Amino acid sequence: MPAKDHPNIVKFHGVYYERCFVCIVMDKLDGGDLVEGLQRHLKERGQINCLDVVHVAYQMAASIHYLHQRNVAHRDVKGDNYLMDRKNMTDKQCKIVLTDFGTACTASPTDRLSSGVGTKIFWPPEFFDRDYSQKAGPDP
C-alpha cells in the first residue's frame, strides 16, 4: 500500500521484529482512543453535546475520505482505532488519527471485496454477505 501522509492518519516510522513480537513505531498520542475518551467524558462530565465533537467527526471523515481517494479500504473503522492527542475530546484542538491498518487493502471504488475481516460486532450488513465495496456498501 502507498505511504499515507495525512494529519488524521497515524504516522508509521518503522517495524522491528523480536522473537515473539512485532514492534511498530508510530507517533505518540497521549489521549487514548475515542472509546476511552467517550467513557471518560461520560464519567466525569456526563453526556456530550454533539456540537462539542463536530471537530472529531470531521477528522474521522477526513481520514476515511483520504484513504478512499487513494483506493484504500480500511475495513476496521471503529472508535478503538482512532487515537487522540489529548484526553479531552471536546477540546477544539483535539487531534485524532486513524490507526490499525492490519485489515486494510487496496480497492478501487468498483472492486468487490469478500473477506470477513475486522471486528465482527462492527461489521456492516454487506460484510456478512461477503460482497462489499471500498466503502462497505452496495454496488457503486
Q: What residues act catalytically?
A: 76
**How far is Cα 89 from Cα 29, in angstroms, rounded to an integer?**
13
**32-to-82, 113, 136 alpha-carbon distances in Å:** 8, 31, 27
Instruction: Provide the grid cell at 115.
Output: 473477506
**How far is Cα 95 from Cα 8, in angstroms, rounded to an integer?**
7
How big is the chain by its Cα radius of gyration, in Å? 16
Query: Exposed, middle or buried: residue 25 (CB in 10 Å: 0-12, 13-18, 19+)?
Result: exposed
Give one word for 56, left, alpha or beta, with left for phi > 0 and alpha for psi -120 to 50: alpha
Asked if 89 and 41 touch (Cβ cutoff 8 Å), the reply is yes
